Structure formats: structure tokens, C-alpha cells
Amino acid sequence: MSQPLLSIDNLHVRFARSEDEVYAVNGISFDVYENEALGIVGESGSGKSVTLMSSIGLLRENGKISSGTAHFQGKDLLKLKPRQLEDIRGRDIGVIFQDPMTSLNPIMRIGDQIMEAMLTHRYASRKEAFERTLQLMHEIGIPDPKSRFKNYPHEFSGGMRQRIMIAIALACEPQLLIADEPTTALDVTVQMQILALLQDLRRKRGMSVVMVTHDFGVATNFCDKIIVMYGGQIMEMARTDQFIRRTAHPYSIGLKRSIIEVGHRGKEILPIPGASKALTEEPVGCPFAARCSFATERCFQETPALRIYGEDHHIACHHAEEVARHAV
Amino acid sequence: MAGTVAAARSDALNQKIKNRHRSSWYQGWKRFKRNRLAVVGLVWVVLFFLAGIIGPWVAPYDYRVGDFLAINQGPSWQHIFGTDNVGHDMFSQILYSVRSALIIALGATLVSFVIGVILGLWAGLRGGLADVIIMRGVDFMMTLPGFLFALILVVLLGRGYWSLILAIGIPGWAGYARLIRSLVLGMRNGEMVEAATALGASQAHIARRYMLPNVVGSMAVSLAFGIPGDLAQIAGLSIFGMGLQPPIPSFGNMLAAAGDNILGFPWLLYFPAGIFAITLLAFLFVADGLQEAFSPKGGN
């Protein structure tokens, strides 16, 4: 296979709190290839957003990258100066966030906000940027771009605002789009429209997407590859079809069982016992061990390495084979 | 068929949206207009400003020249607000007073505001030690009675226009600094700034294009509340004999003089005090209206 576009290797991130430290990301490695959509799934606090935000320098002030590399186009993003990162963010790597209601500048016309993305990076002249803005607005499905150019964010619905955020992120034609829970704040019907739009834009551009979500449905629908994270570590990583057919990690299986499906009235919903909590100590053993029904002594002492489980399928579990036998 | 109906509907909808698209300023103005008291207040404030600007030209009498044949007269057609103990026409005195009151109040508010904004921005954007020092300064200023501070400054600086502007303006920065800092801090960790950062915007650019425009509304509101406060302070200083030097007419001086003759010649108190009180109220109504129209919480 060719060179990966983004390659994160052994990333560790910690957050300093007033009296202790939180181990948010503990040794994450994965690659994103060109024209690939990767979905990172996990519950709140599993470190999925932090992984990506820290690699593009958007870590909160109390966060610290203690080790690891994040290579993008041959450069280690973690070693770049803030100014150099500014040049890459929004230019080569676009980002969209969860909440389109609060992410736009409320007192700037939306057309200007889309143009701004291009002007900041000197991607286009003022005139070209204006033309391109109209074209982008048309492309993301805002009717009558010329007149809506002058609208302010509060004059748009949530779905429309997320479309605008997408236009801003795509303004400079980035090779990689990071989508941090892009549909979480939206109605279900609108979610699907936004996903379809993203899928369409991605295909047309051959752009890579990393999507962070807690929604399995969204991830498996949209992505070629799925990563399941827990406690700041990768539990399972697989091609989507493999993942759906042979879900192997007890945590992934648990997540799948706890999904409520329309029309499955009789289906038993099995929540995973216990709760995930912030890791305030250097993690030892499998982070999921305390909630896992298959856990043995070994799981509490030895951190399972991410190993090959099948074709395009990796898993970090000591007992994957046994789990597979039971789960059937 | 169904397609054309849908298209027609969405066209109509777009038209509606097009007619509606207006800036948040316009929306704010619409909300402001709905507040009757604020509009009435605004009319009075505009008249007050007008009087301040053209007062000296329309005043029927010179403020320096007293008519010794008509001292301590009640309201009449010649002197609609009466005359004082040296025959000054009270109406003219009030017109002149408006100008001095406005100059000092606006100047002082501007001084407080500029100091407050600079220090507040500095504290909010820089954080760290700068923040600690500036905010302890704010605490210090807040514990001092501002009026006493102003009184001391007047004693040190003298009783001219400039010294009064500085004396009232300098102690007033703390409130503005605190407000700006809290607004900046709120935004600095907010999604909008995060999104702008993700777009590759530099810190300076974010401060200028994203933060500053978004605090203008709140700052305007706090300015509107600041002006009547400073107006009252000037009058207070004058009553203590620390305002403008007496031949220059001012509300405070008039009130102080009227106090001595309150039983014999009450109109000397009623007219200036009444107009002054109404003016303060009008400013407050306007400020209230602005707050309702532009405060983030009041939005719809």
C-alpha cells in the first residue's frame, strides 16, 4: 500500500487537573490513507476527539502531549511551530465540529466567513474567493447562494449551519477532513442529509476523512475503516465490513448490544455494566477489564497489544478467540 | 408536477428569507423600538445632546450677564424658568450647563472605557501574571469609594474641564476591565474561537475579527450605563464645591446655590433638579433598552 496521508504513532496525551493528571490518550497508533474514511468510535471520555485535536494543535491549555508522532505529508505535526500549524490547519486539514450553532461567528455574514477561510491562507484572490464561495454554497446545497451570501448565521437552521461549516472546512480543498461528531447536534433526518452530503463531497474530491463519533450507525455507514477506542486506547480496528461481520472485542460487542433499533421492540438491550471513568493513574492492564465479563487475572496486569485477528482486522484483547466462541 | 409545486414553495420561502435577512444590529434596533420607555428616553437624550450642541446659540440670555432689575423672579414669559439671586436667566443657565455636563460625562466615560478595555483585553488574552495583577487592581479599585477617589483627584488636579474628566474617568476603569475580561475569557474557550483556530486564523486575527466585534454590543450597553453614572458624579462634586468653577454654569452649582434658598425661591431648585433627574432617568432607560436589545441572553 502507498504512503499513509496521516500517520499517528504511539501518541500519549495527558491533562493536568488541579490535583491530579488524567491519562486521556495512552499509546494510539493508526494510519489514514488517501481517499479513505476512518471512523473513530467510543464513548465520551475515551479520548477519541483528543487524539485528533492534539495532532493538529488544538489541545486545550492544560493538555500535554507526552510522547508520540503525527506525520502528515512527511512532517511531524507535533513538532511544528504554532505558525506552521496555522498554515496547515484550514488549508491542508479541514475541521468541522459538533455544534454548528455556536461555531460560526454570529455577527459575520456567512459568505464572508466562507471567503475568510480562503483569504486567511491566501488560497485565492478576493474576487476568486467570492466566486468560489458562491460555487461552494451551491455545492453544499444552499439555494440561491448570491442572496444567501449576505445572511447571518442566526438566519439558518442547524443543518444549514453545518453545511456552512462544511463549506468553510472545504474552502481550500484540504486533503484531509477531520469531522468531530459532525452530526451529533442535529436531528436524525438532517444527520442523514449531512452524511450523504459529506460522502458525496468526499467521493468527488478523493479526500480522506477522519470522523469521530459515538454513533455506530453513522460510523459504519460512512467509513471504510472503524476504530473502537476505550480508555485512551484502541480496542479494535477493522475494515467496516469485517467489523460488522466479526465484531470481536468484548467492548465492541457490548456497544453493539446496547444500541436501540427501530422496530426491534422485543430486542433485549444489554447495557455494559459499570461506567467509564477518567484515568488518573498510568493505566496498567486492559482499560476495559473492570467491566468485562471475560476478564481474567492477566487482563488486569498485562496491557493487551493490538494484534492481527483477521484480514484488515486488529484487536487488543487477550481472549478474543474465546470471546468469539461465546458470542455466537 | 409535484416537483414544480415544491420548487415554487421553496422559491416563496427563499423570497421570505431574503426580505428578512438583516444584520444583528438591525434586529437589535427592532427589539429596542419595542421598548416604549427606552424610545422615550432616547428622544430626551437626543434633545439633551442637541441642547448641549446648539444651547449657547439658542439661549435667550448670556450666562455671564445678570439682569439686576430682575433678581429672584419666578417663571414668567421673559424668564420661563425664573431668575436667580443675581438675575441670571435660569433657562439659559441650564442650556449652558448641559454642554459642560455632557463634555465632562462623555470625556470621563471615554477615559474609563479606554483604560478598562485595554487592561481588560490584556488580562483576558494574556492570562497568567498580567491577569492576576490587573484583576487585583480591579478588586482594589472596587473596594475604594469612587466618589472619594474622584474628590481627592480634583483636589490634586484642580477644577478645570480636563481635571474633572480625569478625576471622574480614572477611577472608573475597573468595571469595564472586568466586563471585557470575562467576555474575552468566555469566548477564548468557546467553540467559535476553536473553529476559527481550526481554520488556521492567527491569535491576533481572532482577537480582531471574532472577539472584538462580538463584545461591541455588551460594551455599548455598559457605556450607556456609565454615562448617567458619571453625570451624577459631576453634579455630586459640584454640590461639594468641587465641580466647575462657579461662573461656569453647571447642574451641580445650580443645585448647590438653590439649596440655600429653597424656601424663598423653590423654582431655582425645581427646574434644574427636575431636568437633571429626568435626564439621568432617560439615560438609564436607554441603557436598559440597549441591554434588552443587544444582550446575548435577550436574543431570540
Q: Which residues of A touch B213 (CB under 8 A)?
A: 105, 107-108
Number of domains in chain A: 2
The residues of A whose Cβ lies within 8 A of any Cβ of B are: 56, 58, 60, 83, 86-91, 95, 97, 99, 102-108, 116-117, 120-121, 143-144, 147-148, 150-152, 154-155, 165, 168-169
Q: Are residues A105 and A238 in the same domain?
A: no
In a domain, A300, yes or no: yes
Q: What is the pLDDT of residue A225?
A: 92
Q: What is the pLDDT of residue A238?
A: 92
pLDDT tens digits for range A132-143:
999 999 988 888
Nearest CA in chain B to A150: B21
Q: What is the pLDDT of residue A32?
A: 92
In a domain, A235, yes or no: yes
In a domain, B74, yes or no: yes
Reply yes or no on whether the pLDDT at A309 is more than 80. Answer: yes
Number of domains in chain B: 1
Q: Between chains, do A102 and B20 touch, taking CB under 8 Å as contact?
A: no
- Of the listed ranges A76-80, A313-317, B246-250, the least confidently predicted one is B246-250
| pLDDT-based confidence at residue B168 (cuts at 50, 70, 90) | confident
- Of the listed ranges A24-33, A276-285, B30-39, B202-211, the least confidently predicted one is A276-285
Nearest CA in chain B to A180: B195
In a domain, A1, yes or no: no
Q: State the nearest Cα–Cα gap between A102 and chain B, in angstroms.
A: 6
In whole angstroms, give the CA distance from residue B27 to residue B20.
10
Contact assessment for residue A246 and residue A314, using Cβ atoms and an 8 Å cutoff: no
pLDDT tens digits for range B54-72:
877 777 777 776 666 666 6
Q: Which residues of A touch B220 (CB under 8 A)?
A: none
For residue A88, give the CATH number of its domain: 3.40.50.300
How many Cβ atoms are within 10 Å of A93's Cβ, its own excluded? 27
For residue B98, give the CATH number of its domain: 1.10.3720.10
**pTM to 2 decimal places:** 0.73
Torsion of Cα atoms, A275 then A276 then A279 then A284, to 10°: 90
Torsion of Cα atoms, A75 then A80 then A82 then A85, to 10°: 0
Considering A137, A153, A171, which residue would you say is the last residue of a domain?
A: A171
Considering A118, A138, A171, which residue would you say is the last residue of a domain?
A: A171
Q: What is the pLDDT of residue A211?
A: 92
| pLDDT-based confidence at residue A321 (cuts at 50, 70, 90) | confident
- State which H helix or E strand residue B231 sits in: helix B212-239
Considering A144, A171, A198, which residue would you say is the last residue of a domain?
A: A171
- Of the listed ranges A98-102, A215-219, B245-249, the least confidently predicted one is B245-249
How many Cβ atoms are within 10 Å of A204's Cβ, its own excluded? 9
Closest CB to B20: pick one of A97, A155, A169: A155
Q: A54, A108, A119, A212: best mutation site toward chain B, by most B Cβ within 10 Å? A: A108
Greater pLDDT, A247 or B16 = A247
In a domain, B40, yes or no: yes
Closest CB to A97: pick one of B24, B194, B299: B194
Q: What is the pLDDT of residue B110?
A: 92
Q: Are residues A230 and A118 in the same domain?
A: no
In a domain, B88, yes or no: yes
pLDDT tens digits for range A1-36:
578 899 999 999 988 888 888 888 888 899 999 899
Environment class of B165 (CB within 10 Å of its CB; exposed 0-12, middle 13-18, buried 19+): buried
Q: Are residues A105 and A231 in the same domain?
A: no
Reply yes or no on whether the pLDDT at A39 is more than 90. Answer: yes
Q: Between chains, do A105 and B202 touch, taking CB under 8 Å as contact?
A: no
Range A254-264 burial, b when 16+ CB lie within 10 A, else e: bbeeeeeeeee
Q: Are residues A201 and A316 in the same domain?
A: yes
Q: Are residues A151 and A254 in the same domain?
A: no
Q: Are residues A123 and A39 in the same domain?
A: no
In a domain, B299, yes or no: no
Q: B187, B199, B209: best mutation site toward chain A, by most A Cβ within 10 Å? A: B199
In whole angstroms, give the CA distance from residue A296 to residue A273.
17
In a domain, B298, yes or no: no
Range of the domain at A86: 6-92+172-327
In a domain, A204, yes or no: yes
In a domain, B60, yes or no: yes
Range of the domain at B77: 2-293
Averaged confidence pLDDT in chain B: 79
Q: Are residues A271 and A136 in the same domain?
A: no
Nearest CA in chain A to B217: A107
Q: What is the pLDDT of residue B10?
A: 58
Residues A239-255 have a mean pLDDT of 88
- Of the listed ranges A121-130, A208-217, A266-275, the least confidently predicted one is A266-275
Q: Are residues A183 and A166 in the same domain?
A: no
Averaged confidence pLDDT in chain A: 86
Q: What is the pLDDT of residue B1?
A: 44
In whole angstroms, give the CA distance from residue A16 to residue A282.
13
Reply yes or no on whether the pLDDT at B300 is more than 50. Answer: no
In a domain, A273, yes or no: yes
In a domain, A251, yes or no: yes
pLDDT tens digits for range A174-199:
999 999 888 888 888 888 888 999 99
Q: What is the pLDDT of residue B299?
A: 40
% of chain A residues with pLDDT over 90: 18
Q: Are residues A80 and A190 in the same domain?
A: yes
Reply yes or no on whether the pLDDT at A326 is more than 80. Answer: no
In a domain, B14, yes or no: yes
Reply yes or no on whether the pLDDT at A99 is more than 90. Answer: no
